[in-house]
Amino acid sequence: MNTTTGEICPIGEAGEVCTRGHNLFAGYWNQKDKTDEVIDKNRWYHTGDIGIMDELGYISISGRLKDMIIRGGENIYPREIEDFIIKHDDVVDIQVNKLAKGLQSIGCAKGTRVGIWSPNCYEWVVTQYATAKIGAIMVNVNPGYQAMEMDYCLNLVGCHTLICNQRFKGTNNCDILESLEPNILTKADEHRVKSCNKIPTLKNILVMNNTDGEEYAPKNMIRFNEFINSFDGNNNVNTSFDFDESINIQFTSGTTGAPKGATLTHHNIIQNAYFAGKRALEGLTDKILCISPPLYHCFGSVVGGVVAAVHKGTLVLPSPVHNATETLKAIDKYKCDVVYGTPTMFIDLLNSNPQDYNTSSLKRGFMTGSPCPKPLLEAFIKAFPSCEHILIPYGTTECSPVITFTSIHDSEKHRFESVGRPLEHLEAKIMNTTTGEICPIGEAGEVCTRGHNLFAGYWNQKDKTDEVIDKNRWYHTGDIGIMDELGYISISGRLKDMIIRGGENIYPREIEDFIIKHDDVVDIQVVGIPDERMGEDLVAFVIKKTNSTLDKDSLRSYCKGKVNKLAKGLQSIGCVKRTRVGIWSPNCYEWVVTQYATAKIGAIMVNINPAYLSMEMDFCLNLVGCHTLICNQRFKKTNLCDTLESMEPNITTKVDGHRVKSTKIPTLENILVMNSTDGEEYAPKNMIRFNEFINSTKIPTLENILVMNSTDGEEYAPKNMIRFNEFINSFDGNTNMNTVFDFDEPINIMFTSGTTGSPKAAVLSHHNITQNAYFFGKLLTEGLTSNIFCVVPPLYHCFGSVCGSIGATVHKGTLVLPSPMHNAIETLKAIEKYKCSLVFGTPTMFIDIVNSNPQNFNTSSLKRGIMGGSVCPKHILEKTMKAFPSCKHFLVGYGTTECSPVITATTIHDSEKQRLDTIGRPLELLETKIVNTTTGEICPIGEAGEICSRGHNVFS
């Protein structure tokens, strides 16, 4: 659809993708206004994606209408920065000297770690240069961190002084500190912390002045401005140190484990800023840099802040976090000639009426993360005709951060398809991960680099450092790249899959413990499968005893008995039609049982990301009015019972089995904790495990919590809480449940990721889910005789729970969950052991599988790969098909949670071009159009516009 006219775009013209049909969700729970924003009067769901439809109805995706904030999950309310522009000569001469002297006066010296816990602001930049002046090490702390992350990260580096904002978005940072150490602020002496048992090295806390008119920090604490103004800034601070000494610790995102503290030196940062700026700013005279990306990331602090200083430029911070309107105002007001951002940020600028501002000063854009899509580049240059070049940097935090950068002299092909060439005085190579040799030109391998950008190591983690830096000082990025004959590098994926949502490792859990109890089961293996958006899903592989009559139907009945038991158990604690039952857990047996048990009684299951902390739990459980919560005891290193306790004290310790009374979530009446699997219980003994009931006092709607049995041998939930297995085994599962409900009634609430605001609760009906699973599964399983689904993506995502779990049920298949989260080895074991015919994943997951020696496993049963999230790059497809010769087809599904989730998919009959370049055609009985976002008319064939859809897939 043309978003301006509302008409259908011609073939080949870009517009918004819209859809309607059986996949359309029921709507956002208790948010009709949000629902009306995405479903128009004709029941077309507006995806917000820009797409192009060809003559045969195939759609390709080229971008987003609105930018998305990657880290968050809440609305962003920019803190006003009062016409603040950082001119480095002024800052260094006065404010930096004041803070440097102030820090020295409270014990900060060479090597002292000073944390800065704040979004973009004036104080952040002052702290950056003040710590450098005295030789202290600034520690960048993500402003979204909660108590658990603060505890871990500040202890890891031995933080001495913390400079922090009072509030970030909807979170009171002072409350987080108080929850970490009671009275740490209220008993502080101005800035001095009297004692901190949790972080023994912490001696000082400086809180910034609040800008929204309300103070959240206790009055006894000195504010940042008051503190620095008590020192003279006219005289410089003289400290001698070597340029190879550490200046900065930046935490990695934790996508491959717990966050690691990447330590950068003066030399790393200055050299990187100099050479990156030299290439990127070539030919510019004013160098007024408008920076929206966060300063706590290397891209913002080094490529932004330090580049401005080294190249004598001006740093403009339009808002604490990205806000397109404020960015446009800043470009207009301060005559910025460079703007920083991601592709989605640039799309946001396009959709914020740039014609209303004078942006004629803009000459260049720096886009991080990926090459600039050609349609976006053309649209951006059309909207900002003075902007002559959009350049792409590539790198990692460990590389300070830039390894390669495109330039104004590059060809169109290199600007669109590569991330440029290495910076001056850096070495880069593409390495064969099997032989360790350099790959020939044009062959894919791991990107490795060494030179002035290479970090000093992970703070206090030599073992982790040695994993990424080899004996010859080559840093192994973990990225797959290809180098051409001119030295340009293109990036195509990751050697190791990453969990997209939350960024954490997932470990196998309860399913093995459950199925292995069956008398005819010899062995059971559980492995993980990747999900396009949020992470990974669970698949189980079962081996039966010799001469056993056990078959899939009898095993299904065994599992079904558990479903009936849980269904009756839920009814006994007040769960009826439309009751919201939350499941807060990674992939596990209890997850699947809960999915079908709630459906049987007409309750609405609420999928909750296991990485959610107390703030998100408070928001989401209250939004939907959760009645019963079923939860794991532990997720990765987080004790979920502690998370509940931080939300509402004594919610688990004072429960009666499963029954709770919560003031925070008034509707919450039950908590069922799963049994621990690591040998240790983390939930209080008074809490009933998944088979028992518990009571809480934090969520007024929350009345029950069921905890799952732990799988790591350790119980984290209190002993008073009944475990999941104990609870359901107290009911008879041999007789079926008889509940009458309409197929359009809600069955599931799935929280959106919150990338465009606070998480919204997308409500899906029985009809939405079963229709979508049927029609998508019909395409996937066409021609197959054995439907054994190996599902890696997380079940709390629509791709895992609907396309995987429900798809297997609707098409009479077998669901195999190889592990709680993606693990390539476990996936290969599962394919071999259970003779899987389909495997679900993302491109990076398939890359991981290909790089895990698949030749060592018998995967001849594999006939089809299902890829969610993106079109399969040709070289990945070819490499994967070569590794799995029996797998003849890789199919791609496209959609959103609100569309249950699939809108379009490729098929086994599509041409190679259609499989590689498109996301297929709409599912049966769905309508889809490309709309011109200006006119609202349908775009002509071949023209880009917004994808719109309506039909059985659209949520309520």
Instruction: Tell me the pLDDT tens digit for each residue of 324-349.
Output: 999 999 999 999 999 998 877 888 89
Instruction: Print the SS3 string covering 66-123.
Output: CCCCCCCCCCCCCCCCCCCEEEHHHHHHHHHHHHHHHHHHCCCCCCCEEEEECCCCHH
**Which DSSP string corresponds to 819-830?**
-SS--HHHHHHH
Render pLDDT for 427-476 as a digit per residue (tens, 0 to 9). 999 999 888 889 999 988 899 999 899 999 999 999 999 999 998 889 99
Give residue 521's pLDDT: 76
Shared-domain flag, residues 726 and 668: yes
Asked whether residue 73 carries a pLDDT value surpassing 50, the answer given is no
Render pLDDT for 774-817 as a digit per residue (tens, 0 to 9). 999 999 999 999 999 999 988 888 898 999 999 999 999 999 99
Using CA atoms, how far apart are residues 163 and 177, in angstroms rounded to an integer? 12
Residues 856-887, buried b or exposed e (16+ Cβ, 10 A)? Answer: ebebebbbbbbbbbebbbebbbebbbebbeeb
3-state secondary structure (DSSP) of residue 622: helix
Q: Phi/psi class of residue 901: alpha, beta or left (left: φ > 0; alpha: ψ in -120 to 50)?
A: alpha
Q: Does 861 map to a domain?
A: no
Amino acid identity, residue 795? L
Asked whether residue 825 carries a pLDDT value surpassing 70, the answer given is yes
Token readout for 777 is 């599964």
Instruction: Print the SS3 string covering 327-392.
Output: HHHHHHHHCCCEEEECHHHHHHHHCCCHHHCCCCCCCEEEECCCCCCHHHHHHHHHHCCCCCEEEC
Render pLDDT for 159-194 as a digit per residue (tens, 0 to 9). 999 999 988 877 888 889 998 888 898 888 888 998
Give residue 529's pLDDT: 53
Nearest to 714 by CA among 661, 788, 641: 641
- Least confident range from 514-518, 543-547, 743-747: namely 514-518
Asked whether residue 312 carries a pLDDT value surpassing 60, the answer given is yes
Q: Given 494, 527, 548, which residue is the final one in a domain? A: 494
Shared-domain flag, residues 423 and 295: yes
Shared-domain flag, residues 594 and 710: yes
Return phi, psi of residue 905, to 5°. -160, 150
Asked whether residue 213 carries a pLDDT value surpassing 70, the answer given is no
Render pLDDT for 512-543 as a digit per residue (tens, 0 to 9). 545 666 778 776 665 555 544 334 455 556 77
Neighbours of 294 (CB within 10 A): 25
Shared-domain flag, residues 235 and 301: no
Render pLDDT for 833-865 as a digit per residue (tens, 0 to 9). 999 999 998 888 888 899 999 999 999 999 999
Q: Does 235 map to a domain?
A: yes
How far the first Cα of the chain sits from its last, in Å, is 21
Give residue 910's pLDDT: 92
Q: Does 792 map to a domain?
A: no
| 173: CATH | 3.40.50.980
- CB burial class (10 A; 0-12, 13-18, 19+) of residue 901? buried
Nearest to 174 by CA among 140, 134, 220: 220
Give residue 753's pLDDT: 64
Give residue 534's pLDDT: 34
Most confident of 114-118, 564-568, 582-586: 114-118
Q: Does 78 map to a domain?
A: no
Q: Please report, for residues 40, 49, 530, 917, 929, the alpha-carbon distance to residue 19 in angstroms, rounded to integers and kept in the order given.
A: 11, 11, 26, 20, 7
What percent of the chain clears pLDDT 90, i.e. is strictly above it? Answer: 41
Give residue 323's pLDDT: 92
Tell how far CA 205 is from the center of its chain. 30
Give residue 559's pLDDT: 60
Nearest to 592 by CA among 630, 554, 626, 621: 630
Nearest to 251 by CA among 394, 463, 464: 464
Using CA atoms, how far apart are residues 187 and 183, in angstroms rounded to an integer? 6
Q: How confident is the model at residue 66 (pLDDT cuts 50, 70, 90)?
A: very low
Considering Cα of 573, then 579, then 585, then 589, what sign does the dihedral take? Answer: positive
Using CA atoms, how far apart are residues 75 and 64, in angstroms rounded to an integer? 18
Give residue 76's pLDDT: 23
Give residue 164's pLDDT: 94
Which helix (DSSP H) or strand (DSSP E) does residue 567 occupy? helix 552-572
Q: Does 838 map to a domain?
A: no
Shared-domain flag, residues 93 and 216: yes
Total domains present in the chain: 3
Using CA atoms, how far apart are residues 871 and 873, in angstroms rounded to an integer? 6
| 567: CATH | 3.40.50
Asked whether residue 234 carries a pLDDT value surpassing 90, the answer given is no
Give residue 803's pLDDT: 93
Domain span at residue 160 reads: 85-241
Q: Does 42 map to a domain?
A: no
Q: Does 899 map to a domain?
A: no
Mean pLDDT of the chain: 83
Q: How confident is the model at residue 253 (pLDDT cuts 50, 70, 90)?
A: low
Q: Please report, for residues 918, 922, 949, the alpha-carbon distance to residue 894 in angstroms, rounded to integers and kept in the order given.
A: 10, 9, 12
Give residue 743's pLDDT: 72
Shared-domain flag, residues 208 and 310: no
Shared-domain flag, residues 109 and 221: yes
Q: Does 175 map to a domain?
A: yes
Q: Given 689, 719, 751, which residue is the final one in a domain? A: 751
Using CA atoms, how far apart are residues 707 and 604, in angstroms rounded to an integer? 18
Shared-domain flag, residues 101 and 165: yes
Q: Please report, for residues 279, 565, 642, the alpha-carbon distance to residue 794 in angstroms, rounded to integers and kept in the order given.
A: 42, 24, 23
Asked whether residue 596 carries a pLDDT value surpassing 90, the answer given is no
Report which DSSP code applies to 423. Answer: P
Give residue 757's pLDDT: 58
Shared-domain flag, residues 352 and 231: no
In contact, 890 and 881? CB cutoff 8 Å: yes
Degrees to nearest 5, angle at CA 760 with 673 and 774: 80
Shared-domain flag, residues 725 and 603: yes
Q: How confident is the model at residue 714 (pLDDT cuts 50, 70, 90)?
A: confident
In contact, 791 and 893? CB cutoff 8 Å: no
Nearest to 461 by CA among 157, 200, 140: 157
Q: Given 444, 473, 494, which residue is the final one in a domain? A: 494
Q: How confident is the model at residue 28 (pLDDT cuts 50, 70, 90)?
A: confident
Give residue 498's pLDDT: 34
Q: How confident is the model at residue 119 (pLDDT cuts 50, 70, 90)?
A: very high
| 316: CATH | 3.40.50.12780
Which helix (DSSP H) or strand (DSSP E) does residue 726 occupy? helix 724-728
Asked whether residue 902 carries a pLDDT value surpassing 60, the answer given is yes
Shared-domain flag, residues 314 and 430: yes
Q: Find the mean pLDDT for residues 884-901.
A: 91
Shared-domain flag, residues 308 and 430: yes
Give residue 138's pLDDT: 98
Give residue 495's pLDDT: 65
In contact, 638 and 670? CB cutoff 8 Å: no
